Amino acid sequence: MTENDVKKLMQKYLDGTITAAEERQLERFESILLSKSEEVDFKSESNKITVKQNLSRIIRKNNKGRTIYKWLQISASWVVIIGLGIVTYNWSNDDTPPKPIAEIMERTDWGQKLNVTLSDGTKVVLNSGSTIRFAERFEGDSREVELIGEAFFDVVENKDKPFLIKTADLTTEVLGTSFNVNAYPDKEEIAVTLASGKVKIASADSTVVIHPNEQAVFNNLKKTINTSEVQINPYIDWKNGIIHIKDATLAETTEILERWYGVDFVFENEKLENCHITATYNNQTLATVLESIKHVKKGMGYEYLEDNKILITGSCRD
């Protein structure tokens, strides 16, 4: 019921032309106002006196045996007062412009990780070289964030307000679950790996739903989404300081190490880049990792250069 509707019904009440059904509408309106504890704000003390005088005149004029005392006892009286045009009022919203919702950006450099808690309680672990943008508080019918890079999400369940993660041309939608998103901009693929719950992944051309221990991979060039069953730990253990390398080339391995430790690798020759490695490192220093690779791959060496660069030397025999 709008303000004008209420004013018309109040005028009918005062004129004695209101029907029983319309009077019940006013009674329901009264109970709503009581529950909301609305208040009337007088413009000045003189206005307050004028209001009392006008209301008294209305009551004396209304001699048909009706009473409007209950309308004067509560904030519903603002409807009559509006008709007199001499006070301001507060309804569900005032004239104060809503406070803008700030956008927050968190980012990590190579070699850094960051724990972030969103306003709804959702926890995010941001991997190295990543950026996440989100609203200071979530309003509307969804919770939306933007991700560049990699992050692990533990989303608080809210069936009425789905959680949306925007990554390039892909949107991941969840209600409450935990999963990993790998979406570095220099990669050809975006991978979403689910630990618990259920998520929906959508591109412009297709949509898939994955379940725990499943992974969806979106190809940025082909615009396709493929799903498969996976062992979840290798994709989420990074947040606990564990690196899993499975049959990766040395070029792919050093790319991981660059993000992990914030260094740059260069190769003495291209053949070294194709050397394959399988290993797991649990919170090890970079020096320990390099010595481990050197020990396994006979003939390979390394040396530190300026500007945080490391040169891979020698040869590699698989």
pLDDT at 101: 86
User: Which phi and psi angles does 103 have, rounded to 5°?
Assistant: -95, 130
The β-bridge partners of 245 are 279
- Kindly compute the dihedral angle of the four CA atoms of residues 125, 196, 144, 258, in this order, to the nearest 10 degrees: 30
Which residue is it, tokens 């391995």?
A: 253
Label residue 27 by pLDDT band (50, 70, 90).
low
Residue spans of the domains in the chain: they are: 3-89, 103-235, 241-314
pLDDT of residue 285: 95
Mean pLDDT of 130-149: 95
The one-letter amino acid at 78: W
In whole angstroms, give the CA distance from residue 196 to residue 174.
11
Per cent of the chain over pLDDT 90 is 60
Residue 22: predicted pLDDT: 75
Comparison of pLDDT for 30 and 289, the residue scoring more: 289
Instruction: Give CATH for domain 241-314.
Output: 3.55.50.30
Q: Which residues of 138-157 are buried (b: 16+ CB within 10 A; e: fewer)?
A: beeeebbbebbbbbbbbbbe
> Parallel, antiparallel, or unpaired: how do β-strands 163-167 and 199-202 relate?
unpaired
pLDDT at 56 over 60: no
| Type of residue found at 206 | S
Q: Tell whether the model's pLDDT for residue 245 goes beyond 80.
A: yes
Beta bridge pairs of residue 107: 131
The answer to whether residue 203 scores a pLDDT higher than 60 is yes
For the 103-235 domain, the top CATH level (class) is mainly beta
Burial class, 103, CB count within 10 angstroms (exposed 0-12 / middle 13-18 / buried 19+): exposed
Average pLDDT over residues 177-195: 95
Alpha-carbon distance values, 12 to 1, 3, 50, 169 (Å): 15, 14, 22, 58
What is the rounded CA–CA span in Å between residue 55 and residue 86?
A: 12
pLDDT of 243 reads 94
Tell me how crowded residue 238 is: count the other CB atoms within 10 A of its CB: 21
- Of residues 95 and 237, the one with the higher pLDDT is 237
DSSP letter string over 14-80?
A: HHT---HHHHHHHHHHHHHHHHHT--EEES-HHHHHHHHHHHHHHHHH--SS---HHHHHSGGGHHH
Give the model confidence (pLDDT) of 70-86 as tens digits: 444 434 444 444 444 43
pTM confidence score: 0.67
Measured distance CA(154)–CA(170) in Å, rounded = 19
Among 81-85, 138-142, 152-156, the range scoring the smallest mean pLDDT is: 81-85
Mean pLDDT of the chain: 81
